[in-house]
Every structure is written in structure tokens, then in C-alpha cells.
Structure 1
Amino acid sequence: MSDETEEKPDLRDRLANGAFLAVMGIARLLPYDRRIPAVGWFFSRVLAPVAGWRKRIRDNLALARPDLSSDEVEALVRAVPDNAGRSLAEIYSGAEFTDRIRDSNPMEGPGVPALEAAFKTNRAVILACAHFGNYDAMRAALAARGWPVGALYRPMNNQAFNAHYIPAMRAIAEPIFPRGRAGLTAMLRFLRGGGWMALGFDQYQRDGAELRFFDLPTKTVLTPAELAIRNDALVVHIAGIRQPDGLSFKVHVGAPLQPDEPAVMMQALNDDLEALVRRHMDQWFWIHRRWK
């Protein structure tokens, strides 16, 4: 059986899923340029306090950015869930979202020529990405160019939610692979055939290497670098950066990483992400338990 199980969701999951679908159903009645900020507002002002996100954000900022003033912290407490809500609303907007990305041609950065060369030579690519801005903006931008972007995802614990969340992700770009033995086997086959894999690296990994992020020790996954070394794949840091209008994006592709020890490569990615987050503090998912 795959990670997308057919077990019947329990009552609590069904109720939570029903509430989410009700919110999204109301949001879909709005035009796109009002829908996205409306869902962001709901996440920031309604969901975040109930879910305990505000405390988590404050705690993480106290660790990583103790230099911020109380006003700056409170602004981020509101802005971070807003960005998360906007991102989810964009995923559920399907073609309206992907068409905007395609028409704006938002890709930039020193790594773009390297991606063009990799496509021409059928070279595998590891797209190192984080929960920043909207990570699906980069998938949409790459797919719009006809580039072979795949992604690894973790199915949600709420199976009722998975029933529509996974198709929404597939509508942006395919293939996507669930975590687990079957998904990993298919992902490796795709990569070895010259595919490009989007892999996250910004969450705490219990069995990862102890590296630094915001000059704090934290466990970091080594898999993106290890897969790149084993498959002679190009590695670039890529991020969909939300623009000041709150609706459009620039998809920034960093310079390719030089092959090295996996921990050295992943520390370089941590450093690149930190620099990006410091420039756009409201766009990283400060709700994660990155430091434990």
C-alpha cells in the first residue's frame, strides 16, 4: 500500500477537513487578487492564535533574532501566518496560479544558465528548497519552461485532507513522490533518468548532521547533497520570493554548489537560506521547530 492510504479518516480529521474546505469554498467566490490576501488574513488573525503558531514564532525569533524589537517581532507574528495562508490559497487556485507564474516568467539568478545547460545535456538536478515564500512558485516556473521538475512530499496525517491536497500539488507540476519505500524507489529512477528533484532541507532532522543555522546548532538532512554526489547531479538553491504586491514572485536560482563533503554542501545551503531569510524575514515558516 502506498502512503496515500484508503483508511477512513476519524471524526476529528473529518471535521477539521470540513472546516478547511468551507473556508476555501468561500474564498473561491472571490476574485484571485482578493482571494489570496483574504486567506492570508484568516490564517494570521484566526488560525494562528488557535493553533499556537504565535507562541512558536516568538520562541524561534527569541533564539535566532534576539536583536529584534518587540514591535518587529509582533509584526512577524502576523506576517508569517499570512504568507502561509497565501501560499495554500495559491496552491488551491490551480491554473489561476500557474498561469500567472508562466506569464510573468519570474526566473532570475546566477544559476539559471546552469539549469539551461543541465536541461540540454539531460543532467540530473537537485533543487534545494525551503518553506519560504511559496515553494510551489518555483515548481510552476520550471514546469512552464518544460523542465522536468519532480518533488518529494510528506503525506499529511489527516487523510481526508490528503484526498484533495495531493491532487492540488499534482496540478501545479508532476511528478510528485510520497515519502516511503515506493516513493523513494520511483524518485531515484526519475533522478537517474535526468530528472530534477525539489528537496527540502530546512526542517529539523533527528538523524541529520549537526550544522549551524542563524549561528545556532540544529540537525540538518544530508540527503540532497548525498543524492547529488551519487548521481552526478547539479545542486542549486532555489526559492520563490513573494514580491511587495503580495501576489507575484521572483524565482531566484543560486549559483551551483561545488561538490564537497555532504555536510559542507549542506552548511553552504543553510548559509544561503539564512541570508535570504534575513532579507525577507516574513517569508520563512518560523512555525517549524527548527531548533530543539
Structure 2
Amino acid sequence: MTQSSPPTPAKAGTSPQRWKHWAEDRLSAVLLGAARVLPYRQRIAVLGWVGANIIGPIAGLRPRIRANLALIAPDLPEHDIRRLCRSVPGNMARALAETFAGQDFIDHVKDSPIEGGGLAALEQARDTGQPVVLVTAHLGNYEAARIVLQERGCKIAGIYMPMRNEAFNARYVAAMSRIGTPVFPRNRTGLAGLLKFLRRGGMIGLVADHYMDHGELMDFMGQPARTALSSAEIALKQGALLVPVYGIRQPDGISFRVRVEPPVPHSDPATMTRALNASVEALVRTHMDQWMWSHKRWKKNKRPTKT
């Protein structure tokens, strides 16, 4: 892990935020570093417990999870809500710990089983050099799917949203890069690099369940949610397959199976994106404890009223 120094006091109004970021980065570094003395399985389990029982409450994730569950599953029993308020942050912590585990994570998941019926199309694209847009969600750990597919010869580029905490962001990007390269920041330069990689016959990985401020209002889990059409638009423009892919955590909490669904047929961006939403929704309803219910997925979701 890289080391960072305490921030130098800066202008009034900026220093508290810088100190907060430094403290967050140092705390995560100490926690992840201390856990490395444990064998891999125990390490992931311990950090998952910390996420479920300490980080989740301190970070204020439980009220967000409750609010989203009240919107999407209003009849869910209270005991299930309490369980999800623990298990969702626990899965998030496990996924982060796995990403930072590097080679240990790779060795543990690289031979995970594959299901879903889309592998043959993906391997044909790999062999013929046809571009592929792989689309996933914040469910389980999508890095497990990237590892498994890379082991089968798929060259996959990823894109990430730079974090406000620059020190932690640098360490996180380094951790992702140890799993596979290239990875591009989500900005104009990064998108240009990602598309160049795709046009050369590569595969790119995008996450489909983000809230997008200027996205289209589309049904997701029975409620309108602002959704980007970009995955489908890129696939159509570049003549690429659009393939839903997921890394689904198994009941032991540490193993995975990878789901590669058949390519979404090309039609128009809205229709293709609705198919992606339906794919994600089906898995979320089956594995509610593995999806990031702390997302503000349904904010600003009111349709304009007609006058």
C-alpha cells in the first residue's frame, strides 16, 4: 500500500475536508493492512463483519437502505429489513477487501463456475475480434467476473468514477489495476481511451445501475429511475455485443459463480437499456442481500407533470 502524509493546513474552509479525507484513507489503510495477517478466507470474513456491524452504522448506510426498501419492497417484514441493513454493508466491505487482496483474490476465484448461456457468444467475439460491451451491476463482486473471463483470454478494460478522496482513490485504482488493465477514469480523456480499446476489438466493462442526473426515466424495480443509455449507444455505434455479466457471491460468503447472459439484441438504445434493467432487477430480487441498496438510485425520479 502506498503511504500518504497528513495534509498541510490550507485555506479556511478547505482544511477540514482535507483532514477528513486523510483520516478516511489512513483508517482504511490500517484496517486493510492489519487484516492481511489473517489467511484470505478469515480476512474477508472479518472485514465483512466490520462492514456489517461497524462501518454500516457509522457511515449512515442503514437509513438509506431502509428508505429504498420501503420504496421498492414496502411489505418486506421487519426482520428481513434488519438483516439486509447488516448484510448489504457486509457485502460491500467484502467486495472492497477482495479487490485490495490482489493475487489472493485472483487465485481464489479464477476457476469459478460460469452459467447463463452467453459464454459461447463471448468466446466467439474474443476469437474473431468483435468488440464487446460487458454490463454489470453493484451486486456480489463484479471483479470476480472480470478475473474469470480474463483467465479465459478475454481482454477487458474498465472505467471508474474518480473519488473525491484523492489518496484513497489512488490506492483503489492501483488495486483494480493489479486485477487487470487497462482501467480508465470516467472523464473525457478516459472515455476516449476506453472507446479506442473497444474499437481495436477489446471488451469493456461498464456498470449499469448508477443514478445518472441527466439519464432517461425508466422503470427499475417498479419505480422510475434515471438511467444512462450509454452502454447501448456505444454497442450500437461500435457494432459491439452487449452482454450482461455478474459475479454472484455464494452462500459461503467467499466463493462466486459468474453469470454471462446471452447478448442483448441490437434494436434502439431505450429498448436495449430496458433489457439491461430487467436483467439486473431479476438478480437483485433473487439476491437482495448482495445489491448496494445504499445507492440513491431513485432520487429525482418524478416525471414532469403535463400542464
Residue 75 of structure 1 and its aligned partner are, at CA, apart by 0.6
Residue number among 91, 98, 101 corresponding to 1:90 in the alignment = 98
Aligned to 2:39: 31
Residue 78 of structure 1 and its aligned partner are, at CA, apart by 0.5
User: What one-letter code is carried by the residue in structure 2 that aligns with 1:220?
Assistant: T
Indicate yes or no: 2:186 matched with 1:145.
no
Residue number among 61, 69, 76 corresponding to 1:61 in the alignment = 69
Aligned to 1:192: 199
SS of 2:101's equivalent? coil
Q: How far apart in 2 are the matches of 1:206 and 1:156?
A: 17
User: What one-letter code is carried by the residue in structure 2 that aligns with 1:160?
Assistant: A
Residue 201 of structure 1 and its aligned partner are, at CA, apart by 1.1
Indicate yes or no: 2:165 matched with 1:134.
no
Aligned to 2:289: 282
Residue 170 of structure 1 and its aligned partner are, at CA, apart by 0.3
Quick one: structure 1 residues 72 and 105, their matched pair in 2 at CA, closer, same or farther if it must change by over 3 Å? Answer: closer
SS of 2:206's equivalent? strand
Residue number among 231, 234, 251 corresponding to 2:238 in the alignment = 231
Residue 25 of structure 1 and its aligned partner are, at CA, apart by 1.3
Aligned to 1:40: 48
Contact 2:112–2:255 (8 Å) recurs in 1 = no
Residue number among 110, 121, 126 corresponding to 1:114 in the alignment = 121
Q: How far apart in 2 are the matches of 1:105 and 1:284?
A: 20
Q: How far apart in 2 are the matches of 1:200 and 1:155?
A: 14
Equivalenced residue count is: 285
Residue 260 of structure 1 and its aligned partner are, at CA, apart by 1.1
Indicate yes or no: 2:220 matched with 1:222.
no
Contact 2:218–2:224 (8 Å) recurs in 1 = yes
Aligned to 2:303: none
TM-score computed with the length of structure 2 as normaliser:
0.91
Residue number among 266, 271, 282 corresponding to 2:273 in the alignment = 266
Gaps of 5+ in 1: 1-6
Residue 10 of structure 1 and its aligned partner are, at CA, apart by 2.1
Q: Looking at both structures, which has the greater relative contact order when contacts are Cα pairs under 8 Å and sequence separation is at least 6? A: 1
Gaps of 5+ in 2: 1-6, 9-16, 300-307
TM-score computed with the length of structure 1 as normaliser:
0.95
> Which protein is bigger by CA-based radius of gyration?
2
Residue 162 of structure 1 and its aligned partner are, at CA, apart by 1.6
Residue 234 of structure 1 and its aligned partner are, at CA, apart by 0.3
SS of 1:92's equivalent? helix
SS of 1:245's equivalent? coil
Aligned to 1:100: 108
Q: How far apart in 2 are the matches of 1:219 and 1:105?
A: 33
Residue number among 120, 131, 146 corresponding to 1:124 in the alignment = 131
Q: How far apart in 2 are the matches of 1:29 and 1:166?
A: 23
User: What one-letter code is carried by the residue in structure 2 that aligns with 1:112?
Assistant: L
Residue 156 of structure 1 and its aligned partner are, at CA, apart by 1.1
Aligned to 2:84: 76
Aligned to 1:4: none
- CA shift digits 1:219-263 (9 cap, x unpaired): 101000000000000011110000111111001011110111101
Q: How far apart in 1 are the matches of 2:45 and 2:109?
A: 17
User: What one-letter code is carried by the residue in structure 2 that aligns with 1:87?
Assistant: A
Q: How far apart in 1 are the matches of 2:219 and 2:232?
A: 16
Contact 2:140–2:291 (8 Å) recurs in 1 = yes
User: What one-letter code is carried by the residue in structure 2 that aligns with 1:152?
Assistant: I
Q: How far apart in 2 are the matches of 1:21 and 1:34?
A: 18
User: What one-letter code is carried by the residue in structure 2 that aligns with 1:181?
Assistant: R
User: What one-letter code is carried by the residue in structure 1 that aligns with 2:249?
Assistant: R
Q: How far apart in 2 are the matches of 1:131 and 1:222?
A: 17
Aligned to 2:175: 168
User: What one-letter code is carried by the residue in structure 1 that aligns with 2:292?
Assistant: F
Query: Alpha carbon RMSD of aligned pairs, Å?
Result: 1.2
Aligned to 1:213: 220
Residue 204 of structure 1 and its aligned partner are, at CA, apart by 1.0
User: What one-letter code is carried by the residue in structure 1 that aligns with 2:210?
Assistant: Q
Q: Percent same amino acid at aligned positions?
A: 45
Aligned to 2:3: none
- CA shift digits 1:103-125 (9 cap, x unpaired): x2422221100001101110000
Runs ≥4 residues deviating over 3 A: none
SS of 1:10's equivalent? helix
SS of 1:286's equivalent? coil
